[in-house]
Amino acid sequence: MAAVTNGTDPAASGTNRGEEQAPPGIDVKTPSPARIYDVFLGGKDNYAADRAAAQVAIEAGPDIPRAARDNRAFLARAVRFAVESGIRQFIDLGTGLPTQGNVHEVAQSLTPDARVVYVDNDPIVLVHARALLPPSNTTTVIQADVREPAAVLDHPKTRSLIDFDEPVAVLMLAVLHFATDDEVRDTIKAFREAMAPGSLLVVSHSTSEGHGEAGVKAGDAWKNASVAIHDRNRKGIEALFDGFDLLEPGVVWVPEWRPDPGAKSDTRWMYAGVARRP
């Protein structure tokens, strides 16, 4: 297997974690989506099993780490767009390990009164998020499964920070591909019913579309992970927005969603779209 070339090769950097550094109760032998993604982003909160899994994806698609960074840049643009649209409250489903440009950092840099509920079902995300997030009355993190939307919507911390009579931005970035069609449909429906008119649904979603055999091989990275990956094409991802008004430019490759001037990336591993709740 060729060496990882994205600058995250643990042997090269010597910065990634050893199993002895794992927080108690964390299964480091089974690759986790949050930690595989952390490898792509050049983070250090990952373990040997995660790095081996990430390498399978990178072998198939050497620009997958760049696609992950493009996804983070999309997150920042979408949060900025939401704030400029007057939205002051965010629910970030499938938060991932804290990295640069987290939702509250982007939103509160523009409007300090922005409120953010982070949601993830991976205990390691909670360990790191709680350690990094200072106690705050504007930002909180809860451990819940997006496939059980009531557990998120009815959580006391959600209810204390989010006013469902006001527009809210619900972020589902790089998370829905970890759920089946039925689970995704039910989750989005539950959030749509809870969201006030004018709210935004923000989605990014991985795809193998256009990659042929390399796409199948990249998907093998999650074969032994704690949760399976579900491939969807552009049409399938557009269908996620049923019941919402999809905003321009529709569902497009992540770097093409309202790019910042001068942005050049052209990765083709994730689609993105933003829609308004009518």
Ligand X SMILES: C[S@@+](CC[C@H](N)C(=O)[O-])C[C@H]1O[C@@H](n2cnc3c(N)ncnc32)[C@H](O)[C@@H]1O
Name the residues that contact ligand X, by CB under 6 A: 33-34, 37, 71-72, 75, 94-96, 120-122, 125, 145-147, 173-175, 178, 227
**Shortest separation between residue 58's beta carbon and ligand X, angstroms:** 15
**Cis peptide leading into 98, omega within 30 of 0?**
no
CA 132, 11, 39, 145 torsion-angle sign: negative
Q: Which CB atom, from 25 or from 197, has the smaller least distance to ligand X?
A: 25
What's the one-letter identity of residue 243? G
**Shortest separation between residue 165's beta carbon and ligand X, angstroms:** 25
Cβ count within 10 A of residue 213? 9
**Shortest separation between residue 97's beta carbon and ligand X, angstroms:** 7
Beta bridge partners of 142: 119
Q: Cα(44)–Cα(77) distance, rounded to whole angstroms?
A: 25
Q: Which CB atom, from 199 or from 204, has the smaller least distance to ligand X?
A: 204
201 three-state secondary structure: strand
Q: Which CB atom, from 3 or from 109, has the smaller least distance to ligand X?
A: 109
**Shortest separation between residue 196's beta carbon and ligand X, angstroms:** 23
Q: Which CB atom, from 2 or from 188, has the smaller least distance to ligand X?
A: 188
